[in-house]
A and B are shown apart, each in its own frame.
Chain A
Amino acid sequence: MAVADDLNTLLGRLRTSVPELSAALVATTDGLPIAHSMNAGDANRLAAMAATALGLGRRICETYGGGEFRETSVSGDQGQMYIYSAGSKAVLGVVARLGANVGLIHLEARDVASEVSQVLEH
């Protein structure tokens, strides 16, 4: 319960820091949602997609010699999703509408991904 509380606190803080986010979630690398804060949508599906992007991103990094995977993004004409590695066990995904401050998203989300990793590794 403490882990879930910690993760929900982190996601709440992230959404407060970046109000343009419409969703933020933490999933296991196997695609199970373990904490989420979403305006709408299916957390199960988004978690599975985030884990898929993480797995593929890691494999792409290995293939081109890019070292350890850190993050990737998917942009559409209505919005964008950023996916961050959160340690060996989890992935952080955030969804923002088009025109959101990408620099601010990265600044806050990278910190949160690091903290998620610490919460789950300990």
Chain B
Amino acid sequence: MAANLTGVTNAVFAHLPPAARFSSEDGAFLIGHASELAALEDQLVQGFYDILFAHSETARILSGGERTEREMALRQWWRRTLEGPFDAHYWEWQAAVGLIHVRVGVTNPMMIGMWGWLLNALQGALVEKLNLPPQEADRLMEIFHRLAATVQAVIAESYLQNYLAVLANSTGMSPDLIHRLVAVELAGLDLSARG
């Protein structure tokens, strides 16, 4: 029923321009700073979930269970990201997050918005809390931005492909037919007045 997560991941990497995506060199640099970055875990997790619990739309999704249980999702991701490796298993895990988001009701605006918050929080913390030299902090932020772009692309594409796969399975329409329906409908749409 679900989309092929390996296929989704491979397609995303094929579409992402190499200069914009997370690289093995990025991974090595990040892991090289793992011991310092690990110290940011509590601060990031607390800020992240404070925001989610303060917004009714996201708080509703997190309503089941204790906050400490909910926080484990980000803690596990942060620890695994600092440990590496950034292999197929890591990226397919991110693709699986897209499927989970469909199931639990986490939308892409929620996901992308929180990525923005995380990047801002990291930017402040690298200098203020870790006291990293500016050049190193700048390089780490570039890497985090490429990581963010890659993970967001994988999760968002997985969200879409899984949504379509479930729709295709439940209605009996093949993905090719769904693509054709979209093409036929959009062919008749006048886009000239939409900027």
Contact = CB atoms under 8 A, between A and B. Distances in A.
Interface of A: 29-32, 44-45, 48, 51-52, 54-60, 62
Contact of B173 (A32, A45, A56, A60): A56
5 contacts: A45-B184, A51-B173, A51-B177, A55-B174, A57-B172
A54 B174 CA distance: 11
Nearest to B173: A55
A55 B176 contact: no
A56 B174 CA distance: 10
Contacts of A52: 171, 173, 177, 181
A55 B181 CA distance: 13
Interchain residue pairs A-B with the least CB separation, the first 8: A59-B172, A55-B172, A31-B180, A30-B176, A55-B173, A31-B177, A58-B172, A30-B177
B135 interface: no
B192 interface: no
Given A30-B174, A30-B177, A32-B180, 18 more contacts: A29-B174, A31-B177, A31-B180, A31-B181, A45-B184, A48-B177, A48-B180, A51-B177, A52-B171, A52-B173, A55-B171, A55-B173, A56-B171, A56-B173, A58-B172, A59-B170, A60-B172, A62-B172
A54 B171 CA distance: 10
Contacts of B180: 30-32, 48, 51
Nearest to B174: A30
Contact of A48 (B170, B172, B184): B184
Contacts of A30: 174, 176-177, 180
Nearest to B169: A59
A57 B180 CA distance: 18
Contacts, number: 43
A37 B177 CA distance: 22
A59 B180 CA distance: 19
A114 B120 CA distance: 64
B54 to A, nearest CB: 42
A29 B184 CA distance: 15
B177 A29 contact: yes
Interface string B51-86: 000000000000000000000000000000000000
A98 to B, nearest CB: 26
Nearest to B182: A48
Contacts of B176: 30-31
A60 B173 CA distance: 12
A29 B174 CA distance: 8
A77 B176 CA distance: 32
B176 to A, nearest CB: 4
Nearest to A62: B172
A44 B177 contact: no
A62 B173 CA distance: 14
A49 to B, nearest CB: 8
A59 B177 contact: no
Contacts of A54: 172
